[in-house]
Amino acid sequence: MSVAVWVAASCAPRPPYRPPAPPAVVRAPQPPPAQESVKKPLAQEAKIREQDLKTKGAIPSSGAKDAPKSANGGEGRAAPAPLPDDSSLLAKITPATSPQRAASLRLTDEGRKLLDSGDAAKALGRLEKTIVIDSTNPYGYFYLAKAQFQLGRYKDSLNFLDVAESRLNVKEPFWLAEVHALRGENYRALGMTQRAEASYAQALRLNSGNRIAAEAISRAEGEDQPASH
């Protein structure tokens, strides 16, 4: 009986081998995710920041000082230095100067001296010869304009100034400034204040050391100041 049981047990199919399951790993509990420390801006704050970005630099702060202005009206720009005196006509006579131009320049210088002495009528006759000898002499036309101004012929003076300006080289800002300053004097004498001020300003843009224009603008600013009691 026992032998039969043993044989039966040995002939019975064995269950398949299964490896033992690994022991379960116990993990430590994870902490909850930290909350964002940065608070999201409110809708109103976002609008304000967006507006600040658009207008940044456009509106200066109330405590900021105004940028310094130069004499010619530009901000942050230094006023140009006065030009060297180029009024000597005899210095323009060089070995390369033509005989006609040299003679015309000498007559122009004589007329200038007569104007400085107050003899505009005599200077006018001398200066008229300068453009007969050399019609391209711009200085002769300038001093003819100055003589006409001293004689009270302001429109004639303006006409001569136009010719002088057309014959001056663009590389002669000293003389161009002289033309604009004298033009301003004629406009002022004719009561054309705005044109006079524009001419003075142009003269100073060309030569900040132009005495006639500087004195005229200073005089006009003094007239605009209210009288103190």
d(CA 60, CA 14): 94
| Among 181, 106, 186, residue whose Cα is nearest residue 139 | 106
Please, what is the end-to-end C-alpha distance for the chain in angstroms? 150
User: Is residue 214 domain-resident?
Assistant: yes
Name the band, by pLDDT with cuts 50, 70 and 90, for residue 220.
confident
Helix/strand/coil for 75: strand
* Residue 229: pLDDT over 80: no
pLDDT, average across residues 222-229 = 64
pLDDT digits (tens, 9 = 90+) for 41-78: 444 544 545 555 444 444 344 333 443 344 444 444 56
**pTM (global) more than 0.85:** no
The last residue of one of the domains, among 153, 184, 208, is 153
Helix/strand/coil for 57: coil
The pLDDT > 70 percentage for the chain reads 63
User: Within 13 A of 198's CA, how many CA atoms are on the CB side?
Assistant: 5
pLDDT, average across residues 81-100 = 96
119 and 178 in a common domain:
no
Residue 38 DSSP class: S
* Residue 222: pLDDT over 60: yes
135 and 105 in a common domain:
yes
- Domain, as residue range, for 126: 86-153
175 and 146 in a common domain:
no
d(CA 118, CA 122): 9
pLDDT, average across residues 69-97 = 78
Residue 108 and residue 133 in contact, taking contact as beta carbons nearer than 8 Å: no
User: Is residue 81 domain-resident?
Assistant: no
User: Is residue 196 domain-resident?
Assistant: yes
175 and 141 in a common domain:
no
Per-residue pLDDT at 152: 98
The last residue of one of the domains, among 108, 123, 153, is 153
pLDDT, average across residues 189-211 = 97
For the ranges 12-26, 63-77, 99-113, the one whose mean pLDDT is highest: 99-113
146 and 103 in a common domain:
yes
Tokens coding 124:
């006018």
When divided into structural domains, the chain yields a total of 2
185 and 145 in a common domain:
no
Residue 214 and residue 202 in contact, taking contact as beta carbons nearer than 8 Å: no
Residue 147 and residue 120 in contact, taking contact as beta carbons nearer than 8 Å: yes
CA torsion sign, 146 to 151 to 155 to 159?
A: negative
223 and 191 in a common domain:
yes
